[in-house]
């Protein structure tokens, strides 16, 4: 997003999104977050901080098959709330979030549109394909063919010391949560109270949005309705939010390249799907792909 100067110092508002490419609640929050980003476009700095949900030093499960079965059931429970697509079959629980986080951060060096499309593919690796991008090879393979992406540069940048240090800084930042999330009492299936990690640290629940100006901040953790985020923006910067009108189906698919059922309901208006959309069915509703993306998308080749 474009940063717009502010009399008190740039930007007018910073939004920090604590997330992970493989987090199911973050995947389920994409309809709301896409709508919010559209309503704030050009007036804020939106920064993603990768919190590393599955860390390299986490102990491996004693029974991987049982762990996978439990986690697949857990994803189904979350999907009952978010209505987000989920894979027909989960191959395993992700071993590490580091590879996908490094690739997502490296993609930011190629511009915000490329970064959004790469992160989307990484999320779809687990929630559409059931094959989490938890190795370097799988993360790079899952984003192959993203229009406009320079894959050689992405691989080099993802392996660089600078990108690794950046994600390491994100991980540390996510483990310094603001006091307001130490205990959260909200009517939500995922209210977003801070989580204790296996290593004994405390981190933000994912996703969490932190809205920050030079003079104050508001935090909205967990899975929340759109109005919770707009209220936080309005408290900090009254009048900054400009609700974007829904797009017609074809322009929406041109812009977002991949849309789920919950997303198209809040982002589009008109007869759905557009004629050129490529449908991919999951265990909980379809994902529609732009035909240019579908040519190389792993889900469309199954």
Lowest mean pLDDT segment, chosen from 41-45, 194-198, 283-287, 297-301: 297-301
The whole-angstrom separation of Cα 189 and Cα 24 is: 13
The whole-angstrom separation of Cα 112 and Cα 118 is: 10
Answer whether 27's CB lies under 8 Å from 84's CB: yes
Q: What percent of the chain has pLDDT over 70?
A: 96
The whole-angstrom separation of Cα 243 and Cα 198 is: 40
Written as six digits, the tokens of 132 are 């989490």
Running DSSP on this structure, what letter comes out for residue 243? P
| CA angle (207, 212, 216) in 5-degree steps | 130
**Residue keyed to tokens 């977003």:** 192
Q: What is the mean pLDDT of residues 275-296?
A: 96
Question: 288 by DSSP, 3-state: which?
Answer: strand
**Antiparallel, parallel or unpaired: β 285-289 and 278-282:** antiparallel
Q: What is the mean pLDDT of residues 251-278?
A: 97
Answer whether 50's CB lies under 8 Å from 81's CB: no
Answer whether 226's CB lies under 8 Å from 36's CB: yes
> Tell me, what's the pLDDT at 5?
38
Written as six digits, the tokens of 274 are 């557009």
- Indicate if the pLDDT at residue 70 is higher than 70: yes
The whole-angstrom separation of Cα 95 and Cα 151 is: 24
**Residue keyed to tokens 């979030």:** 97
How many C-alpha atoms does 54 have within 13 Å on its Cβ side? 21
> Tell me, what's the pLDDT at 186?
83
- Indicate if the pLDDT at residue 205 is higher than 70: yes
Helix intervals (H) in 83-135 = 98-107, 112-127
- Indicate if the pLDDT at residue 130 is higher than 50: yes
Q: How many C-beta neighbours within 10 Å does residue 225 have?
A: 10
* CA-based nearest residue to 293, from 270, 276, 275, 272: 276
* CA-based nearest residue to 17, from 87, 126, 89, 105: 105
- pTM (predicted TM-score): 0.94
> Tell me, what's the pLDDT at 1?
35
Q: What percent of the chain has pLDDT over 90?
A: 89
- Indicate if the pLDDT at residue 108 is higher than 70: yes
The whole-angstrom separation of Cα 86 and Cα 126 is: 8
- Indicate if the pLDDT at residue 109 is higher than 60: yes
Per-residue pLDDT band at 244 (split at 50, 70, 90): very high
Q: What is the mean pLDDT of residues 236-256?
A: 96
């Amino acid at each position: 997003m474009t940063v717009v100067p502010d009399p008190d110092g740039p930007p007018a508002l910073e939004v920090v999104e604590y997330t992970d490419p493989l987090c199911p609640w973050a995947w389920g929050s994409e309809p709301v977050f896409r709508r919010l980003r559209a309503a704030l476009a050009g007036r804020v700095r939106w920064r993603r901080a990768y919190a590393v949900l599955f860390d390299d030093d986490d102990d491996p499960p004693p029974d991987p098959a049982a762990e996978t079965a439990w986690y697949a059931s857990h994803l189904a429970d979350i999907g009952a709330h978010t209505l987000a697509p989920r894979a027909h079959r989960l191959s395993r629980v992700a071993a590490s979030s580091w590879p996908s986080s490094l690739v997502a951060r490296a993609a930011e060096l190629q511009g915000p549109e490329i970064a959004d499309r790469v992160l989307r593919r990484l999320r779809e690796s687990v929630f559409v394909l059931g094959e989490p991008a938890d190795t370097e090879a799988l993360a790079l393979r899952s984003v192959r063919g993203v229009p406009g992406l320079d894959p050689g540069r992405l691989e080099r940048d993802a392996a660089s010391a600078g990108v690794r240090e950046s994600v390491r800084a994100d991980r540390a930042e996510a483990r310094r949560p603001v006091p307001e999330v130490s205990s959260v009492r909200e009517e939500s299936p995922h209210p977003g109270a801070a989580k204790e990690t296996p290593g004994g640290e405390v981190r933000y629940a994912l996703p969490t949005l932190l809205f920050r100006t030079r003079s104050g901040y508001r935090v909205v953790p967990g899975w929340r309705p759109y109005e919770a985020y707009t209220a936080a923006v309005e408290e900090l910067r009254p009048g900054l939010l400009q609700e974007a009108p829904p797009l017609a189906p074809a322009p929406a698919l041109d812009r977002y390249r991949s849309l789920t059922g919950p997303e198209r309901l809040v982002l589009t208006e008109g007869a759905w799907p557009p004629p050129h959309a490529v449908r991919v069915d999951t265990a909980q509703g379809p994902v529609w792909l732009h035909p240019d993306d579908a040519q190389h998308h792993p889900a469309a080749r199954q």
